Amino acid sequence: MAVHLYTASGTVLAFLMVIAAFDGDAIRALWISLAALVIDGTDGMLARRLRVKETIPSFDGARLDDIVDYITYVFAPVVLLWTGGYLPEGWVGGTLAALPLLASSYQFCRVDAKTDDHFFLGFPSYWNVVAFYAIVASLSPMTTGIILVICSAMVFVPIKYIYPSRTKIFRSANLLFAALWLVAYAVILAQMPDDPNFIIIWLSLLYIAYYVVSSVYLTLTGTSRRRTVTPETVEAT
């Protein structure tokens, strides 16, 4: 239950993130978002290590994780973009804000949103990442809006995106690069509200490029569908 409580703490962080957004403190909101990222990146590994599903079978940890992820990855970041003036004003901005909320609502209810071979199907609702770069790179409202439109559409494109902590292919590299990206995230935030070092921002974007290119490559080549040969699979055949 302590592991489930650890996961559920993300809802409290999302609440604090929304408060920071309405207080006009985007940097505080992004620090809170970083804490939520760390929790989300580690709670699953803890649950599997401690065999929580077997110990407490009556509690649906996966559903809890989806609830927390929607609030911290989708709802709170969109609130931050809206309240901070990072989207166009008026009905255009409101419509753009609604797109990720609706698209991710669909994605989180897909039974195949997480594939059997541990990939995310469709853009995995990383709106917290979009909000991070919109703020630290001072993107124009229209640029941010275009990114929201593209990523919302990509939710429905069946590309299999790497699940850093679970995808077996390139797993060591995925975990290493994800950890380095989190460090870069913290370094960039530590330089705010002054202009952050754009070299570090571009270096952090290399991980985003690696993530997208690797995911598209694995999808197009069908590598993600190939079975890993183990003694168990040999015996089964």
Q: Would you state the structure tokens that stand for residue 226, as one six-digit string? A: 């190939």
Q: Nearest-CA neighbor of 218 among 172, 176, 151, 158?
A: 158
pLDDT value, residue 224: 56
pLDDT, tens digit, 9 for 90 and up, residues 39-93: 998 988 888 888 888 888 899 888 999 999 999 999 999 999 999 999 999 999 9
Q: Nearest-CA neighbor of 15 among 26, 1, 25, 29?
A: 29
Q: Nearest-CA neighbor of 26 among 148, 192, 195, 196?
A: 192
CB 69 within 8 A of CB 9: no
State residue 121 phi and psi, 5-degree precision.
-100, 115
Q: What is the DSSP secondary-structure string of 6-67? A: HHHHHHHHHHHHHHHHHTT-HHHHHHHHHHHHHHHHHHHHHHHHTTHHHH-TTS-HHHHHHH
pLDDT value, residue 228: 41
Report the run of H or E that residue 160 belongs to, with start and end.
Answer: strand 160-162
pLDDT tier, 109 (very low <50, low <70, confident <90, very high otherwise): very high
Q: Per-residue pLDDT averaged across 21-46, rounded?
A: 94
CB 66 within 8 A of CB 74: no
| 186 three-class SS | helix
Query: pLDDT at residue 237 above 60?
Result: no
> ∠ at Cα 118 (114, 123), nearest 5°?
50
CATH 1.20.120 fits 2-236, yes or no: yes
C-alpha to C-alpha distance for 54 and 59, rounded to whole angstroms = 10
The larger pLDDT score, comparing residue 101 to residue 62, is at: 101
Query: pLDDT at residue 234 above 60?
Result: no
Question: Domains of the chain: which residue ranges?
Answer: 2-236
pLDDT value, residue 193: 87
pLDDT tier, 225 (very low <50, low <70, confident <90, very high otherwise): low
pLDDT, tens digit, 9 for 90 and up, residues 121-170: 999 999 999 999 999 999 999 999 999 999 999 999 999 999 998 888 88
Q: Given 3-state DSSP classes, what are the helix, strand and coil percentages for the chain, each rounded to the nearest 5? A: 70, 5, 25
